[in-house]
Amino acid sequence: MRENRKYPVTYNTFKNRILEFFLEKDWNYNTTFTREQKQEFLDNHELDFTESYNEECQNYDKGLLNCFDTPSETHKYILGLLFDCEKYYAPQEAAKQSPKNKGYSMTYEEFEEKFLELLVKSATEQYNVSEQQVKKDFDNFVKENPDSVRYDYRERCQMYDYALVHSDEEYIIPADKVFSDDSLDSGPVYETLTWMYF
């Protein structure tokens, strides 16, 4: 950390300011999290902003726009926290979904099974690894990202809902293709493999 020289804001002050902004403001990101929910998220995560602090120090040294001279610039870190907060609550929200009532072609359990099937197929073909190794690597990935597949399922459900209403929009994946093998393979499966092997 770059606190070996004097900066207008210490790391602790910088971190606390981000957390205060996160709790107090939504910055027009249209989130529905209550203060209590956001506090629960913070209580269950050890957050480290060292890299961000060092970046602000570099900007300060270069005379560029920074959070030290312009505290309101701290808002740029809030979106990342809100995204992580959404991932944290995704399993709870996904559990509230009723696939039969909503018309989704897959339940979460079916999605999870298909996801792993496609993941193994793509990994063995593209990365020249055995099926056993892929499953082991995926288990390690899930340990570090326990809600990732549930989040992907929820995202697919949202895409399905959106496609039903906005089917005339260009580049929208049709509702009946959202859960197709090709769509999953080029979307969440590809993204997960990228995280696993890069």
DSSP 123-166: HHHHS---HHHHHHHHHHHHHHSTTHHHHHHHHHHHHHHHHHH-
Structure tokens at 124: 């063995």
For residue 26 the two structure tokens come to 């939504």
Residue 125, pLDDT score: 93
Cβ neighbours of residue 22 closer than 8 Å, sequence gap 6 or more:
38, 42, 78, 81, 82
Q: Which residue has the tokens 């205060």?
A: 20
Half-sphere exposure at residue 39, Cβ-oriented, CA atoms within 13 angstroms: 4
CA dihedral 164→170→174→175, nearest 10 degrees, is -30
Residue 188 in contact with residue 155, Cβ under 8 Å? yes
Q: What is the pLDDT of residue 5?
A: 67
- Domain-by-domain residue ranges, the chain? 11-94, 98-197
Q: In degrees rounded to 5, what are phi and psi of residue 126?
A: -90, -30
pLDDT of residue 28: 53
pTM: 0.53
Exposure on the CB side of residue 165, measured as CA atoms within 13 A: 4
Tokens of 10: 């210490």
* pLDDT in the model for residue 93: 58
pLDDT in tens, the chain (198 residues): 555 568 999 999 999 999 988 888 655 555 678 888 889 989 988 899 998 999 899 989 998 888 888 888 887 788 778 777 877 776 565 555 544 446 788 888 899 999 999 999 999 999 989 999 999 999 999 888 888 898 888 888 888 888 887 777 777 889 899 999 999 999 999 999 999 987
How many other CB atoms are there within 10 angstroms of residue 96's CB atom? 7
Q: Is the Cβ–Cβ distance between 8 and 59 less than 8 Å?
A: no
CB 149 within 8 A of CB 112: yes
C-alpha to C-alpha distance for 40 and 36, rounded to whole angstroms = 6
